[in-house]
Structure 1
């Protein structure tokens, strides 16, 4: 089977992408202590570029310079000012060495109610739409998260030996064990307590929101100036922009709260101001959850309206996610594959047919069917791109049996949550690509340049 559908080019804005396979945006936790990109980041992305991905979408890069941007143990990348630009520029240059691979920056205004105070400013809460704290319902942990919770906190397995029993509990039954869960985590696994129970955010002022809208446009323009091919607004699964969209987390009574139009104002102003700053043609899109999948959260019908408004404000592609941290089993790390495509027809309809990217694939046959059926325009690989950076090249070469398949164990996610270096159960080089330059420095274009330089150096007389 040739899977030709996956290797047709596609146009997004003024960018032609050589195939329909993207690397999904993921926060790998490889940045330096202050959020600077390092050689580790460069090797991480260049390896996937060499592996045949037509498009790389970066981890979310935080453009919010204020102490209340919200932080996480996984140490997010930063893109706030000129100090960060050349580190990104080096990475972009390496990615571009590989057969016209394109790279989009995912740009974020912050963590919102899913964030925590920064280590250097513990007295400063993360900024959000309202002072409402997040809490993960254990009933929403899927099999992968269950496996990792038991690995890092054995006491959790003693408290809940049968997760299926908990998953089937009524609200009243769960209320009886909820306090015990928190007590065990507080005593035995503070890192996991930090993940499961959020800090109460500080409600942002209107002036602070407008400041971020304006700054976002400036930083998006800077990304294009250092030769990123596109920019994606980070607005999915519970982060700051999503938390404004959702009535669960946004209970404001001003122009940024209440009606859907008001809750979407922050995002729409960002899209409008950025499009006016960067011009009409550049690839500029939005990632959104197709549905929050939580009671009282933003629904798919409301998201479709937001998609339509974003299109009118200047977005020219959309990337689909779902859920939030409150429901990690259904959010960006389900146990199976292709759960996200169900939202794609709604995005296509609401956007008037603009390109849509759908994530969460393992099997190339499943991915090819989604493209050939017209359900989505591109597919993206997240955890599967960690497990096998060379998935696209293997599919194109007809070596499907050689693909190293993601086993959905969630080890990559869990290690980020507990301050461990990223690991993959099936790919020992994941997060360590810098140590294996043969995986990512083997670009004929660069090698040709280096060899010419060597030849001229070798011709010099000895002194």
Structure 2
């Protein structure tokens, strides 16, 4: 892959062999100790419904860093109050949130992992009840909900109709992403991911199924990608040239006439030129009622497609559950990083166990746990 000033420098190994799961990777000025990272996972547990992280987030995210992950990326963190998925989601639109994140990033860093945050806006999928609520759909105003916004006044199935964003509204949201990126750095995060997947606002602009605009933010692929590219550029300008910037895409809507992997590859290359470094490739979430062929590693092929066609670094996600499976994704060159979610919920120490299964010796086993290393014999 050709390197430019806007793309990362990838430092793999000191030999000619293909990198493996536990080889380091360097993006811009940050070296990650391995290629097994924690994907963002919403916890719906913010304090007082004001977007402030709690002790739950400290213990949850800290345990994942203690378990040996190369990076720990905090859940979808909204750039505005109205961008939260639920009233209990995290935010980075004020300094109280920033201050509450600092002990969390400090602890993640102290365990040798890179603290990251996913900046997001849920758009028409905001103001929802959290998953374990007895109710579903849009939270009404008298229960702490709000009117949602979107590129077009097209509702997600089962949710209230959103208000269509004006041009000035869009400019305000670009600025909100910039300010949230500034607070991210001040809070101690060393990696930022922009959430343009799973049917949330940036994805809503990208897909013709949710973007029915006829102005400069709708219609052609260039126009539908305009908002995302403005956000990438302003965040890169705000954080400088050394902090890694990721974009999470849903590579397909799994629906006729929707966003697809070729669109993703094209826009990923544009984002690379605008200052993004690596692309976290998931799928779906924009529309309901679609048929998705779920199975082990079912989304890896999309990370491989984008990697090859856009000539960018990618991360693979989606039912990657075992050490050998994750290592094969890297050694085969299908992706540069593996991000896991559910497996980390089941076992926060999965990287330490995976290393033992693969016969890799690590020097970051916690000293406090030396009496209980994973042994296969």
Aligning the two structures, in what range does the TM-score lie when normalised by the shorter sequence?
Answer: 0.7 to 0.9
Kept in 2: contact 1:21–1:55 (CA 8 A): yes
Aligned to 2:20, what secondary structure does the other structure show?
helix
Find the structure with the greater CA-based Rg. Answer: 1
Q: What residue number does 1:133 align with?
A: 155
Does residue 347 of the first structure (1) align with residue 306 of the second (2)? yes
> May I ask how many residue pairs the two structures share in their alignment?
334
CA–CA separation in structure 2 for the residues paired with 1:266 and 1:87? 29
Does residue 38 of the first structure (1) align with residue 50 of the second (2)? no
Kept in 2: contact 1:307–1:350 (CA 8 A): no
CA–CA separation in structure 2 for the residues paired with 1:22 and 1:328? 30
Give the TM-score, by structure 1 length: 0.68
Q: What residue number does 1:93 align with?
A: 106
Q: What residue number does 1:277 align with?
A: 238
Aligned to 2:325, what secondary structure does the other structure show?
helix
Q: Which has the higher contact order (CA 8 A, sep 6+)?
A: 1
Aligned to 2:249, what secondary structure does the other structure show?
strand
Q: What residue number does 2:186 align with?
A: 225
Q: What residue number does 2:89 align with?
A: 76
Kept in 2: contact 1:359–1:379 (CA 8 A): no
Matches within 5 A, 1:452-463: none
Instruction: Measure how far apart 1:60 and its partner are.
Output: 0.6
Matches within 5 A, 1:61-210: 61-65=77-81, 68-69=82-83, 71-72=85-86, 75-98=88-111, 100-108=112-120, 110-116=121-127, 120=141, 124-135=146-157, 197-210=158-171
Task: Show CA shifts across 1:413-459 (max 9, x none).
Answer: xxxxxxxxxxxxxxxxxxxxxxxxxxxxx9659xxxxxxxxxxxxxx
Q: What residue number does 1:423 align with?
A: none
Instruction: Measure how far apart 1:218 and its partner are.
Output: 2.1
Q: What residue number does 1:319 align with?
A: 280
Kept in 1: contact 2:37–2:338 (CA 8 A): yes
CA–CA separation in structure 2 for the residues paired with 1:372 and 1:242? 30
Instruction: Measure how far apart 1:398 and its partner are.
Output: 3.3
CA–CA separation in structure 1 for the residues paired with 2:299 and 2:159? 26
CA–CA separation in structure 2 for the residues paired with 1:17 and 1:303? 25
Kept in 2: contact 1:53–1:392 (CA 8 A): yes
Q: What residue number does 2:32 align with?
A: 17
Task: Show CA shifts across 1:310-348 (max 9, x none).
Answer: 1111101111110115348867xx753211111112221
**Shift in CA distance, 328/276, structure 1 to aligned 2, threshold 3 Å:** farther
Aligned to 1:132, what secondary structure does the other structure show?
coil
5+ residue gaps, structure 2, are 1-17, 128-137, 360-364, 369-377
Task: Show CA shifts across 1:385-406 (max 9, x none).
Answer: 1111111111223399xxxxxx
Kept in 2: contact 1:114–1:325 (CA 8 A): no
**Shift in CA distance, 257/399, structure 1 to aligned 2, threshold 3 Å:** closer
CA–CA separation in structure 1 for the residues paired with 2:140 and 2:178? 28
Match of 1:302 among 254, 263, 277: 263
Task: Show CA shifts across 1:5-59 (max 9, x none).
Answer: 2111011221100011011111122222222100011000111111111111110
**Shift in CA distance, 377/123, structure 1 to aligned 2, threshold 3 Å:** closer
Kept in 1: contact 2:192–2:246 (CA 8 A): yes
Does residue 377 of the first structure (1) align with residue 365 of the second (2)? no
- The structure with the greater share of residues assigned to helix is 1
Kept in 1: contact 2:67–2:348 (CA 8 A): yes
Instruction: Measure how far apart 1:123 and its partner are.
Output: 8.1
CA–CA separation in structure 2 for the residues paired with 1:264 and 1:345? 21
Q: What residue number does 1:53 align with?
A: 69
Q: What residue number does 1:268 align with?
A: 229
RMSD over aligned CA atoms reads 2.4
CA–CA separation in structure 2 for the residues paired with 1:103 and 1:119? 34
Kept in 2: contact 1:79–1:219 (CA 8 A): yes
Instruction: Measure how far apart 1:118 and its partner are.
Output: 5.8
Instruction: Measure how far apart 1:115 and its partner are.
Output: 2.2
CA–CA separation in structure 2 for the residues paired with 1:199 and 1:119? 9
**Shift in CA distance, 71/60, structure 1 to aligned 2, threshold 3 Å:** closer
